[in-house]
Every structure is written in C-alpha cells, then in structure tokens.
C-alpha cells in the first residue's frame, strides 16, 4: 500500500502539487496522453528544474495557443494563484466540468478524485455566493490551467499508485489580494470555506500561500492530518511555487510503502427509518447522496411500531461528509431525525490494471492481500460503453473481460 505525505510548510497550490508529483516520479507522458483525450483547450505542458532558496525543485510550465489566449482574454479577469501562467480563459460552470469528467474515458479512481476536488470547491463557492453549487461560475478553478492541474494531479496519483494521502497542517498566509470580484483578505473566501475542519499551521507570511485549488486537494483527497508518518521513505519530490518569499516556496511530497495486507479507515454511518415516503423519492435520494460524495447507500425493509412496514436508510460516508448527508436526509425524506455512528472498515489493497480484450484495452480493479489476488473486477463504466457500442449484453462483456483479465494477470 502506497501512502503519500503532503508537507505543506509553504502552503499548497495546483501547479505546485502537480510539479511535486512529477518530481516524485509520476509518468508525465501518461498524464499528458490522458489529458489530451478531454475536450479542453490545446495546451503545452512541461516542467523545468529551478532553485528556491537552495532547494532544487520542479516548476510547472503550462502554455495555451496564442489564438485561444486572444479569443478568451477579453471575457475574464485574472485571479491570483501560485502559477505564473494563470491564463484568462473562459469560465465554466461546475456542472459542465463535472459532466465532462463523468463522461470521459478516465479510470474510475481518477474520475472519483477529480470529481471530489471540484465538488468541494463548488460547494464552497456556492455557499459564499448564495447559489446552487452546480450553477457556480468558477473563476480560478474554471480557468483551463486549473482544470488541468486538478485532473493532472488525479492522473499523477494514479501513475504513482497512491492509495492514501496524509497532510501536514496548512498555512494560508495573510494580507489582501486582488481577485475577480475585488480586494479580498487572505485566505480568500473560497479557500477559507474549503479549509473548514482542516488543521491550519501558524506561519505568519504576507501573501497567499494556499489557493482554492490547493485547499481542494487537501479537503477532498486527504484522509489524515498530522506529522510525518513513522514509516520508511521511498521517494521525495519538490514542487516550486511561482512566488518568491524569504523561505523556500516549495511543496514537499513523500512516498511511503507499507506492508499492510489491507487498508483500515474510519467511516461515518448516517441512518434514519420511515414508513411514509413514496418509492420514487428513494431513487432520487440515492442519486443525490452518491453525487454528493456518499461511499454507499442502501435500503433495508424493517417492521416499525404498530407493525407498519418501513424502510431503514443507511448512508456510508467519509467523516467530513457526515453533515452533508445528515442535511440531505432531513431535507429529502420524511424523517424528523437522523442518527450517526463511526465504523471502522477493512478493505483489500487495490490497484488498477489495463488488459487487452477483443473490444480494446480495458481497465480492471484488482483486490489483493498478502500478495494473493482475491478479486478482479472490470470497471462498470467501460463495460457499459462497450456493451452499448457493440450491442452485446452487459454480463457477456463483463464475464469475457473478467476471464481474460484473470488469465493475463494470474498466469
């Protein structure tokens, strides 16, 4: 199991994170090839080696074609970030970005991580502006370079096969910064909202150390906060910010590999039971819960007081999503109350692998323990696309890919 530690001594931003992961060893060709499959503006991405107060680090270099830059320049106002090439492309609504990711050919884990980052940012922006998160009109994270940062980081994590992410407390900086809507205090409103519940570091520096995109990584992808884990370091990478301070403006990332046979994590279970809700509402509730980050949701038939048949609704989620799920149940069901508890779950270690099939290269998820493979599961979205494209029954494609993967991987 591979663990990543984000050492955010000088804050965190999108370009710093992507550059640090590439410095750590993420395959840049893989990242670029996957990004170029998406319906986004043509771009050129590279990294260069620079020095920040004596620390050799990688700096992300991102360029768009001049035609695209000219076309979109008059539509937008620049928003500050650590990136020197914070291009002023057209802004996109959260719903459009999420739809693009969901409909892409990215692997399930890359989709999940990308969607979770944009989701926490959209919810923060929605709260600040008093609007539905889906209708949020992104500024910084709607720019093409920040979309590339977010999805690029998810791809880099996949390239490194990172299973778990831990982070240090996060400094934000102080002072004021000019943004699209005017002069704002640091941390910017979106950054502050995203970082609710996240431990902050006491590091008094004038300037923006953590951007909304960086805060989004911390809130959406990190499962624990604290000091460096007591494990053997496998590799270290450094990503440089574009600003210069009296301290090294770098993000340090460290890769650890544990010998655990399975992963242990704490989840929150939110429940309620009711006997007076129409069946159609249950389908809507499940869609909403999964869209808002629930790990799973299921319904159990039960017998309630006065022998009335009822339904027990159980939602599994990450601890930081518990409030969202409680509010969802109170708003979208007929219940007058919810209860929650913390559970510990053990899950098999997993990795994703490509296999060659008569329908092309497809992805399978492998669950293993003690080096022994326990499960091989084809990815649902890919099987669905193949079944529809070739007019073949879903289960026929699923079993074929499962058998081919088992033969290729276990031989």
Question: Residue 292's domain is classified under what CATH number?
Answer: 3.30.70.1380
404 with 356, same domain: the answer is yes
Q: Mark whether 174 and 67 lie in a shared domain.
A: yes
Determine if the peptide bond prior to 396 is cis (ω within 30°). Answer: no
Query: How confident is the model over 362-376, as pLDDT tens digits?
Result: 999 998 877 788 999
Please, which residues have CB within 8 angstroms of residue 312's CB and are 6 or more apart in sequence?
Answer: 271, 272, 273, 299, 300, 301, 302
pTM: 0.62
- Residues 386, 330, single domain; the answer is no
Confidence of residue 130 (pLDDT cuts 50, 70, 90): confident
Task: Show the domain range for 385.
Answer: 349-410
pLDDT of 90? 52
Of 156, 173, 248, 245, residue with least CA distance to 215: 173
Q: How many structural domains is the chain composed of?
A: 3
In this structure, the answer to whether residues 81 and 168 fall within a common structural domain is yes
Instruction: Examine the domain organization and report whether 69 and 175 are in the same domain.
Output: yes
The answer to whether residue 115 sits within a structural domain is yes
Q: What pLDDT, on a 0 to 100 scale, did the predictor assign at position 161?
A: 92
What pLDDT is stored for residue 262 in this prediction? 55
User: For the ranges 50-64, 304-318, 364-378, which has the lowest average pLDDT?
Assistant: 364-378
Taking 60 as the threshold, does the pLDDT of residue 383 lie above it?
Answer: yes
Residue 342 lies in a domain: no
> Is 168 found in the same domain as 51?
yes
Asked if residue 246 is part of any domain, the answer here is yes
- Which residue, of 241, 257, 273, is where some domain finishes? 257
- Please answer whether residues 87 and 69 qualify as being in contact, where contact means their C-beta atoms are separated by less than 8 angstroms: yes
pLDDT for 49 beyond 60: yes
For residue 317, tell me if it sits in a domain: yes
d(CA 76, CA 202): 34
**Residues 371 and 286 placed together within one structural domain of the fold:** no
CA nearest neighbour of 277 among 288, 285, 268: 285
Domain assignment present for residue 358? The answer is yes
Mark whether 395 and 375 lie in a shared domain: yes
Distance CA 16, CA 150 (A): 11
As a whole number, mean pLDDT of residues 127-136 equals 75
Structural domain includes residue 344: no
* Domain contains 118: yes
Are 193 and 278 found together in one domain? no
Q: How far apart are CA 118 and CA 276, in angstroms?
A: 35
- In this prediction, residues 256-278 reach a mean pLDDT of 82
Are 143 and 81 in contact by the 8 Å Cβ rule? The answer is: no
Average pLDDT over the chain reads 86
Domain co-membership, 121 together with 235 = yes
Grade residue 144 by pLDDT with cuts at 50, 70 and 90.
Answer: confident
* Residue 213 forms part of a structural domain: yes
Do 279 and 239 belong to one domain? no
**With contact defined as beta carbons under 8 Å apart, do 94 and 79 qualify?**
no
- 125 with 220, same domain? yes
Q: Quick one: pLDDT at residue 129?
A: 75
């Amino acid at each position: 199991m591979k663990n990543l530690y984000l050492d955010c001594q000088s804050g965190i931003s999108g370009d710093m994170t992507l550059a640090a992961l590439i410095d750590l060893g993420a395959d840049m060709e893989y990242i670029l090839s996957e990004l170029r499959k998406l319906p986004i503006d043509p771009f050129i991405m590279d990294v260069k080696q620079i020095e920040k107060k004596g620390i050799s680090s990688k700096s992300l270099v991102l360029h768009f074609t001049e035609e695209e830059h000219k076309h979109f320049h008059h539509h937008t106002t620049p928003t500050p970030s650590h990136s020197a090439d914070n291009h002023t492309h057209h802004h996109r609504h959260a719903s459009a970005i999420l739809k693009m990711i969901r409909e892409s050919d990215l692997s399930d884990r890359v989709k999940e991580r990308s969607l979770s980052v944009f989701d926490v940012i959209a919810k923060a922006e929605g709260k600040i502006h008093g609007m539905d998160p889906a209708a949020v009109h992104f500024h910084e994270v709607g720019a093409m370079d920040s979309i590339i940062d977010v999805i690029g980081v998810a791809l880099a994590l996949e390239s490194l096969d990172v299973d778990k992410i831990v982070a240090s407390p996060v400094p934000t900086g102080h002072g004021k910064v000019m943004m699209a809507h005017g002069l704002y205090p640091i941390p910017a409103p979106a950054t502050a909202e995203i970082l609710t519940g996240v431990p902050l570091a006491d590091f008094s520096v004038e300037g923006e150390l953590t951007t909304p995109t960086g805060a989004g990584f911390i809130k959406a992808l990190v499962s624990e906060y604290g000091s460096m884990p007591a494990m053997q370091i496998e590799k270290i990478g450094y990503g440089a910010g574009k600003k210069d301070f009296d301290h090294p403006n770098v993000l340090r990332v460290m890769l650890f590999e544990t010998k655990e046979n399975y992963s242990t994590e704490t989840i929150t279970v939110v429940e309620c039971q009711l006997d007076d809700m129409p069946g159609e509402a249950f389908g809507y509730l499940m869609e909403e819960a999964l869209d808002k980050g629930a790990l799973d949701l299921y319904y159990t038939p039960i017998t309630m007081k006065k022998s009335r048949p009822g339904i027990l609704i159980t939602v599994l989620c990450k601890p930081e999503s518990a409030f969202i799920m409680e509010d969802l149940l109170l708003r979208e069901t007929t219940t007058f109350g919810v209860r929650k508890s913390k559970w510990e779950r053990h899950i098999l270690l997993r990795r994703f692998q490509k296999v060659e099939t008569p329908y092309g290269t497809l992805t399978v998820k492998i669950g293993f323990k003690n080096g022994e493979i326990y499960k091989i599961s084809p990815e649902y979205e890919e099987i669905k696309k193949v079944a529809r494209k070739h007019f073949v029954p879903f289960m026929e494609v699923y079993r074929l890919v499962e058998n081919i993967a088992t033969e290729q991987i276990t031989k």
